[in-house]
Amino acid sequence: MIKRTLFINGVETRAVVDPQSKLSEFLRTQMHLTGTKVGCNKGECGACSVILNGKVVRACITRMKNVKEDAEIITIEGVGSRENLHPLQLAWMVHGAAQCGFCTPGFIVSAVALLEENINPTREGVRDWFQKHRNLCRCTGYIPIVDAVMDAARLMRGEIKTEDIWYKLPQGAQMMGTAYIRPSALAKVTGTWDFGADLGLQLPKGTLHAKLVQAEVSHANILSIDTSEAEKMPGVYRVLTYKDVPGTNRINGLAFPQNKGDGKERPILCDKKIFQYGDPLAIVLSTDPSIAEEACKKVKVELEVLPAYMSALEAMAEDAIEIHPGTPNVYFDCGVIKGEETAPIFDKAKYTVEDDFYVGRQPHMPLENDTGFSYMDEDGKLIVHSKSIALHFHHLMTAEGIGVDPDKYVIVENNAGGTFGYKFSPTMEGLLGVATLVTKQPVYLEFTQDQHFAYTGKRSPFFMNVKFAADEDGKLLAMEGDFSVDHGPYCEFGDLLTIRGTQFMGAGYNIPHIRNHGRTVATNHEWGSAFRGYGSPQSLFSTEVLIDELAEKMGVDPFDLRYKNVYRPGDTTPQGCEPEVFCLVDAMDKLKPYYVEAKAKAAEKNKEGGEFKYGAGVSLLIYGAGLGGVDTSEAWAEITPKGVSVGNSWEDHGQGADMGTLYHAYDALMPLGITPEQIRLVMNDMEKTPNSGPSGGSRSTVTTGNATRVACENLVNALRKPDGTYMTYDEVVAAGLPTKYEGKWATPGTDQDVVTGQGDPFANYMYGVLLAEVKVNTTTGKATVDQLTIVSDIGKIGNVLLVEGQIYGGLAQGIGLALTEDYEDIHFHTSFTKAGMPQIKDVPDNIKIIHQETERPDGARGASGVGEMPLSAPHAAIVNAIYDACGVRITKLPALPEKILAGLKA
């Protein structure tokens, strides 16, 4: 131990610390300053940034022995308070620069040091600073963050005042369509928004820490698991294996009836087999996490290692054994049969084009690792807190496996530091549930970054072969497709994902005749979970690159070829139904001048010669809002003495469910004349909030937004008096009327037929057209995105900050998907850097968003969703631009420098 006198946020403190401990641990656990977050815990993300003696340091890689006597430390708690915000905190709120908010304290602290050094930085100077200090953000695409720093600097220089930038809702105005600041922003910028690990530190004394024994091979039969040594270790409370699980020990993957398996192949704790690297084999429990960790090493596992099939193609080989004995590795098939037989059309068509495509295992990389905890409440209910974005699904999927009475089981969503879809699957709910149900003790479990990479789902790779046939004018006549989806060993939502392939290959264009066939394949790679875009980034990549190939073959401009074929009245989607609106022609008209300019600019620069080649590429961006078929949601509204409480389970990854709920509620409650501050949001606790469905499929605005509006309207209608005024809370109670009213919503739509793919699955779609401008270094092969211009049409905008934040963030993830991101190598792709997450300088500061607001008939007051559209196909525009620049056609992502270089050499 060492003794240190420290000045923390200006307060002199005497601390006794382990010299080997980390500054982040000291601040969080000893000083209870949990505003400092820990993400990677490896020095790569900047979430833990603090100022130490005037310099920004990453507290997770700063050992206490290196924190000198009398050191001055500033954490987010010392930057500003709720009552007295620092200009940076204020500007962060105004610009919507905190989405999930996990990176926010680190960024703000880092920016404080920047502005202390230079109060008048350029935008590029700000970007250089965050690059140098490794501040990563996965949500915002960085642009709102730079905007916030620039405005904070102006505030500090006295050039503008708070009133100039602070959004104030005009009296009597509706909130929808404004830049109203989200309710959680204040807590996020002050470091008081508690995530799972922060709540974990506040759990009662005696809480057990769970550590996992996990598989280190990808496929094996389990011969034995011996926990005796581990159990003998002093301080170990209990070691649990499959034998201790009270329930069926299976997660219910909610398989489609056409699935050849029963969907119950994922064990909570492995019993007979290991199906993938990272599978959990035992849970060690101790009040001391380091003892639990040590004891894990003492658990002996005897295995018979089996061949591991690390791709769909390997698992489909004739001699491959069944990963789940009794269920074929190819366990689900679906397709599209639209119009006439395509073979004769291909025979006769003037132009045909065919290619193979691959979009791989993009990792989600939220800054916050998976974290949760569980306990029995005083009524004997099992309560699990996690990052679930599908509370009611996960309840259904895990209750039987854990062995808990569904009526005595509740899931609560903790504030989440981003999920991007990985938490559409249960991760630790089963493990926590079993640990608490067996021991009756509170249990806390947090994944390290390595565990997070190893035991959370990834984007499922698609292997695709696609063909287009077109007439002499370039009108598309037919499409044929064949694709295999590598979904890892667990089928959860893999069938639905494969159906998405049939919905988005060729989407956006009128293709009268289609034959498409997709199959879902079990492999031993990481299990596939939802990832923002869910099937569209894979599908659209194939057709959005293929259309460029067709244009090249025809000798026409790819923009013009798209323009000729995009949906117009009378046209139909691959599902054979009319799109709900026809907005792509207008969107392309808006983008055209930018495209022409970009092409001219690139040609000009290319004429100058040199190492770099410049190019421009385009793609359509499309996603359907909803789960497919009829999609339902529920909410409630209740009058209280203080105003109105509004309840729903609009799970928040960071996208802004709080703000979405607030504007839907406020506008519906306007007749009551209440202020936004009088609306209390009660969200994401199954004990209190109804089944609003998951926050996936960009469905929540349409479904839960509407359910929330209906609940509030029902309340308003119930309170209306004959003279047109409204009852107060006291009057309602005195009249003996109910105070609480439900709202329900169901989208129209029909499930599509699994074999023919025909139906009308989505009430509405989100559309975009994207222009990417890139440069390629012909010496290194490295491609860089210089500029992006998007025309976005998501119907009516709910909140400008949310929508633009979603678009910037989605596009930034698209840059990663296009150029760097991967989780193919389970032993290498295990950190943000190695897995290719874009830093600020990898994302251009130049992203232009042009809004087109075509009202959606079945939207939420004209709005569709937005979350997934910007990640549906930006990588296709980028890859098309790479081809335009240097003639290298990348069809298998990511477009790493070595692939481009090999293409250049060839």
Q: How many residues bind ligand MCN (CB under 6 A)?
A: 38
Q: Is 421 in the site for ligand FES (CB under 6 A)?
A: no
| Binding residue for ligand FES, selected from 27, 38, 155, 815, defined by CB under 6 A | 38
For the CB of residue 92, give the shortest distance to ligand FES in the complex, in Å. 10
Say which entry of ligand FES, ligand MCN, none residue 484 contacts (CB below 5 to 8 A, set by partner kind).
none
Say which entry of ligand MCN, ligand FES, none residue 48 contacts (CB below 5 to 8 A, set by partner kind).
ligand FES
Counting every residue, how long is the chain?
906
Q: Is 40 in the site for ligand FES (CB under 6 A)?
A: yes
The token pair at 396 is 């259904």
The site map against ligand FES for 635-654 (x = CB under 6 A) is -------------------x
For the CB of residue 42, give the shortest distance to ligand FES in the complex, in Å. 6
Q: Which residues contact 611 (CB under 8 A, 6 or more apart)?
A: 777, 778, 779
Q: Is 798 in the site for ligand MCN (CB under 6 A)?
A: yes
CB 266 within 8 A of CB 251: yes
Say which entry of ligand FES, ligand MCN, none residue 802 contacts (CB below 5 to 8 A, set by partner kind).
ligand MCN
**CA quadruple 110, 111, 113, 118: dihedral, nearest 10:** 150
| Binding residue for ligand MCN, selected from 421, 501, 535, 579, defined by CB under 6 A | 421
For the CB of residue 137, give the shortest distance to ligand FES in the complex, in Å. 3
For the CB of residue 740, give the shortest distance to ligand MCN in the complex, in Å. 24
The token pair at 91 is 């500007």
Q: Is 266 in the site for ligand FES (CB under 6 A)?
A: no
Q: Is 105 in the site for ligand FES (CB under 6 A)?
A: no
Find the binding residues for ligand MCN in span 642-671 (CB under 6 A): 653-657, 659-660
| Binding residue for ligand MCN, selected from 811, 866, 890, 900, defined by CB under 6 A | 866
* CA 793 – CA 680 distance, rounded (Å): 31
Runs of H (alpha helix) within 758-859: 800-819
Q: Is 817 in the site for ligand MCN (CB under 6 A)?
A: no
From residue 659, how far is each of 141, 340, 439, 458 by CA, in Å?
19, 47, 39, 28
Strand order of the sheet with strand 11-17? 11-17, 2-8, 71-74, 49-52, 55-58
Phi, psi of 540 (to 5 degrees): -65, -30
| Binding residue for ligand MCN, selected from 383, 802, 817, 840, defined by CB under 6 A | 802
**CA quadruple 226, 230, 232, 237: dihedral, nearest 10:** -120
Phi-psi region of 468 (alpha: psi -120 to 50; beta: other; left: phi over 0): beta
Q: How many residues bind ligand FES (CB under 6 A)?
A: 25
Which residue in 265, 429, 634, 868 is the catalytic one?
A: 868
For the CB of residue 22, give the shortest distance to ligand FES in the complex, in Å. 9
Work out the angle at residue 691's Cα, subtended by the Cα atoms of residues 685 and 694, and round it to the nearest 5 degrees.
85
Q: Is 794 in the site for ligand MCN (CB under 6 A)?
A: yes
Phi, psi of 374 (to 5 degrees): -150, 160
| Binding residue for ligand FES, selected from 27, 137, 220, 412, defined by CB under 6 A | 137
Find the binding residues for ligand FES in span 43-72 (CB under 6 A): 43-48, 58, 60
| Binding residue for ligand MCN, selected from 320, 707, 803, 812, defined by CB under 6 A | 803
The DSSP-derived string for 50-118 is: EEETTEEEEGGG-BGGGS-TTEEEE-GGGT--SSS--HHHHHHHHTT--SS-SSHHHHHHHHHHHHHH-
Stretch that binds ligand FES, among 131-139, 258-266, 551-559, 579-587 (CB under 6 A): 131-139
CB 375 within 8 A of CB 496: no
The token pair at 727 is 């009852």
* CA 634 – CA 676 distance, rounded (Å): 21
Phi, psi of 722 (to 5 degrees): -55, -30
Say which entry of ligand MCN, ligand FES, none residue 699 contacts (CB below 5 to 8 A, set by partner kind).
ligand MCN
For the CB of residue 418, give the shortest distance to ligand MCN in the complex, in Å. 4
Sign of CA dihedral 878, 883, 886, 889: positive
Residue 194: Cβ-neighbour burial (10 angstroms; 0-12, 13-18, 19+): middle
Q: Is 741 in the site for ligand FES (CB under 6 A)?
A: no
A 10 A CB-CB count for 765 gives 27
Find the binding residues for ligand MCN in span 97-156 (CB under 6 A): 99-100, 139
Q: Is 541 in the site for ligand FES (CB under 6 A)?
A: no
Phi, psi of 364 (to 5 degrees): -70, -40
Q: Is 102 in the site for ligand FES (CB under 6 A)?
A: yes
* CA 767 – CA 802 distance, rounded (Å): 17
Secondary structure class of 199 (helix, strand, coil):
helix
Find the binding residues for ligand MCN in span 693-712 (CB under 6 A): 695-701
For the CB of residue 182, give the shortest distance to ligand FES in the complex, in Å. 12
Q: Is 808 in the site for ligand MCN (CB under 6 A)?
A: no
How far, rounded to the nearest angstrom, does the alpha carbon of residue 626 sit from its chain's CA centroid?
A: 16
Of 539, 588, 521, the C-alpha closest to 559 is 588
Phi, psi of 345 (to 5 degrees): -70, -40
The token pair at 825 is 């190598």
Q: Is 415 in the site for ligand FES (CB under 6 A)?
A: no
For the CB of residue 823, give the shortest distance to ligand FES in the complex, in Å. 18
| Binding residue for ligand MCN, selected from 419, 484, 543, 820, defined by CB under 6 A | 419
For the CB of residue 139, give the shortest distance to ligand FES in the complex, in Å. 3
* CA 48 – CA 106 distance, rounded (Å): 6
The site map against ligand MCN for 540-569 (x = CB under 6 A) is ------------------------------
Q: Is 821 a catalytic residue?
A: no
**Residues belonging to the active site:** 868
Q: Which parts of this chain interact with ligand MCN (CB under 6 A)?
A: 99-100, 139, 418-421, 532, 653-657, 659-660, 695-701, 794-799, 802-803, 806, 809, 863-868
Q: Which residues bind ligand FES (CB under 6 A)?
A: 38-41, 43-48, 58, 60, 98-103, 137-140, 367, 418, 654
